[in-house]
Structure 1
């Protein structure tokens, strides 16, 4: 059975994916491809663009075939610019996603949500985070992150990457404790330690009772959780150990 939908309607996620994908392609077209990406050590702006364009094709093939393909396009054709590689991959992925209802069953890597809706959300945040990477690498003025998409991305970072990907990789924290994450009217708990790695949506009161409590505007929390903002970009109440551990564990989950 699929998990309940996240904070944002699946139709909004698909529309936002189209918008963010086009913005990303435009930013890549205007930027120096050799520029280093601060949040992805060792990667250039061009490598980020190549990665996203490749993932678009991988996911479309996975959805069409019902399994992860062994053979899929990882680079543009010779002489084809990277922004066109992004635009073509995005268009094909959008067509595949739009042809299916979000609750329709699909092959995913999260047993809690084997639906097309999973990929609407996953590919939006893949695109949005790497759009931020391109802006940071090129020095372009940041376009910002809408509050509703930031809240959805916070939920994905905590429930999918922290609560599922870390256990799947066998990675745990060193010190048991909890972090409450609060922004706007939304709250979460993330609990980590040698025995447990889990996260869930909760009440404001439950979040406030955690060992550390992280608060900031939605976009700030979103970028902080995804490693695109520094540890000091959010407000932390408590001893700070658990918030720092959460931030470090998410770097391992999303690298």
Structure 2
């Protein structure tokens, strides 16, 4: 999976989908979010990532441009941010060290992957707001996105936020031959790939779907009826709720 190619392609798709659309159009999958705010958020995210790299630490509010300047088109704000991010990330090998917000991956590869998925998810949001059919992604990209949201957001971001589940539970997440086991509860949350699917027998519940469906469901963009669920529905509801807190 070439994250830079995905980032470049998805940024252009997002821009094309937003072009000429009223900024107030709501994102169906995210009540309260509109097309214009989504475009602005993506443009701000590119700049925040670049500032994190430049400073070698988390940038504080006001240290990066998070809104278009007066008279600047929000779509151009997003596109210029994408161009700047691609320029910087292309100039460095993915294994070259740099500051990130995940201790397990302190290199440019983290930002390549993170911005590729950030752009992909919000491209889908923009297409939904614009009334355009949501374009698919390659299975390889979606499966990597499933791995990222479980390992990075559920397994790391919740701990940073100090958020815990109310009860200990295990939920298996299956996409074709790929299986992850998630654990949520008072001791924190974690997720890991299962080499042998039989090792997931300890799960209280299981969620199964195709690559793109699971990718979108884990990001809160699809309802439960779009995935197959078996077992303890309360365990699945807890996983869902914690993911919403981690990814908001």
How does the TM-score come out when normalised to structure 1? Answer: 0.92
2:169 is aligned with 1:143: no
Give the corresponding residue for 1:94.
86
* In structure 2, C-alpha distance between the alignment counterparts of 1:123 and 1:208, rounded to whole Å: 34
Give the corresponding residue for 1:30.
20
* In structure 2, C-alpha distance between the alignment counterparts of 1:77 and 1:170, rounded to whole Å: 35
* In structure 1, C-alpha distance between the alignment counterparts of 2:12 and 2:182, rounded to whole Å: 33
Give the corresponding residue for 2:212.
219
- Give CA deviations for 1:128-165 in whole Å, capped at 9, x if unaligned: 11111111222111112221111011001110100111
Contact preservation (8 Å) 1:29, 1:82: no
* RMSD, aligned CA: 1.4
Contact preservation (8 Å) 2:171, 2:236: yes
Q: How does 1:1-255 map to 2 (within 5 A)?
A: 9=1, 12-70=2-60, 71-202=63-194, 203-255=196-248
Please state whether the residue corresponding to 2:172 is helix, strand or coil. Answer: strand
* In structure 2, C-alpha distance between the alignment counterparts of 1:212 and 1:31, rounded to whole Å: 41
- Give CA deviations for 1:81-125 in whole Å, capped at 9, x if unaligned: 222111111011001001111111111111111111111111111
Please state whether the residue corresponding to 1:30 is helix, strand or coil. Answer: coil
Cα distance change of structure 1 residues 80 and 219 upon mapping to structure 2, 3 Å threshold = same
Of residues 56-65 and 84-93 in structure 1, the stretch that sits farther from structure 2 once superposed is 56-65
Give the corresponding residue for 1:6.
none
- Equivalent pairs counted in the alignment come to 245
Of residues 224-233 and 59-68 in structure 1, the stretch that sits farther from structure 2 once superposed is 59-68
- Give CA deviations for 1:177-200 in whole Å, capped at 9, x if unaligned: 101111122110000111231111
Once the two structures are TM-superposed, the CA of residue 61 in structure 1 deviates from its matched residue by: 2.2
